[in-house]
Structure 1
Amino acid sequence: MRARIVVAALSLSAAAFVGIVTSEGYTDTAVIPTKNDRPTVGFGSTFHENGAPVRIGDSTTPVRAIVKAADHIGKEEAKFRASLPGVALHQAEYDLYMDWVYQYGTGAWAKSSMRRQLMQGNYKAACDALLLYKFSGGYDCSSPGNKVCSGVWTRQLARHQKCMEVQ
């Protein structure tokens, strides 16, 4: 396994970008993806490039949606890198935590136990902390037989597995 690289020198890989937009799925008109969530359009975008929130009734095209997702990720990446001064990650770790940030936002990231663990150099504990994020709209998405938000939990399990594979 290669050495970890200081976060300031990393950026989201093309494969991870494709993974994010694939996981999010595409909608040409704004929807509310899960109960109590914000409206999203395109590939899970909650804001337009100009900073205006997505509203029900907004629409997009596939090309605009890719541009919007890339713009959103670029803004979030800058905040993500700034939140981890001096921390080094493997590219795979960077990609999966950025995937998490795209889903939950940098506000949630700043308060997360994953960030705290990474700042302390506890990489495995940071991976395990991914599994704490299993709720959506007040519902425990890890509940057996869940049909409300099983994708949230499935995505967390996949992130956790990828994270553990590079430890």
Structure 2
Amino acid sequence: MGAAASAALATAFIGGWEGLRTEAYRDAVGVWTACYGETKGVAPGDSYSKAECDAMFALELRSYEAQLDRCLKADVPTGAKIAFLSWTYNVGAGAACRSTLVRKANAGDLVGACKELPRWNRAGGRVLRGLTNRRISERSMCLKAVNG
């Protein structure tokens, strides 16, 4: 699969989980958020067009992928990479790069890495149904890619 197709799949998958909200809102743990889960520089009363949100999202996904690529050295199939990028976009590159998931992937245990995803279903110390559902979906995509 080409880079453009992979980027389109990642954008659709991750954007579907993040959802688009053009007006600033507080997320589940009280952080000001807008667009597709953007938090950087978002303040109460901010609003964005869909085009602005799409542009920010594309830029952020490229940034998160570059950060993930610095620590994830394993060669992973496209579906696993999208699942890992979705998770990284949600939990942050620092947490991702320090995780057991990345250690397992880099050690060649891609199935084990995929199975780590459901452990990341909390925000503010609370299990959230939306995160649980997202992680199950990411794990499913990851395992399908790894197992062929």
Query: Is there any run of 5+ residues in structure 1 with no aligned partner, and where?
Result: 3-8, 48-52, 141-148
Correspondence for 2:79: 92
Q: Find out whether 1:104 has 2:91 as its counterpart.
A: yes
**Matched AA of 1:20:** I
What value does the CA root-mean-square deviation take over the aligned residues? Answer: 1.9
Bigger proportion of residues as helix: 2
Residues 80 and 143, structure 2, Cα contact 8 Å, conserved in 1: no
Correspondence for 1:40: 33
Which of residues 66, 69, 90 in structure 2 aligns to 1:78?
66
Separation in 2, partners of 1:164, 1:78:
23
Residues 23 and 47, structure 2, Cα contact 8 Å, conserved in 1: yes
SS at match of 2:136: helix
Separation in 2, partners of 1:92, 1:10:
13
Q: Find out whether 1:31 has 2:18 as its counterpart.
A: no
Separation in 2, partners of 1:107, 1:132:
16
Structure 1 residue 58, shift from structure 2 partner:
1.7
**How many corresponding residue pairs?**
145
Separation in 2, partners of 1:76, 1:157:
21
State which drifts further: 59-68 or 127-136.
127-136
Structure 1 residue 35, shift from structure 2 partner:
2.4
Structure 1 residue 10, shift from structure 2 partner:
6.4
CA, structure 1 residues 108+64, in 2 after alignment: closer, same or farther (shift >3 Å)?
Answer: same
Separation in 1, partners of 2:47, 2:136:
31
TM-score normalized by the length of structure 1 = 0.80
Q: Find out whether 1:62 has 2:50 as its counterpart.
A: yes
TM-score normalized by the length of structure 2 = 0.89
**Matched AA of 1:66:** D
**Matched AA of 2:143:** M
Percentage identity across paired residues of the two chains: 23
Query: Is there any run of 5+ residues in structure 2 with no aligned partner, and where?
Result: none
Deviations 1:84-121 (A, max 9, x none): 23x10001111111111111111111111111111111
Residues 117 and 123, structure 1, Cα contact 8 Å, conserved in 2: yes
Rg larger in structure: 1
CA, structure 1 residues 10+118, in 2 after alignment: closer, same or farther (shift >3 Å)?
Answer: farther
Separation in 2, partners of 1:60, 1:10:
28
Separation in 2, partners of 1:60, 1:13:
22
CA, structure 1 residues 10+116, in 2 after alignment: closer, same or farther (shift >3 Å)?
Answer: farther
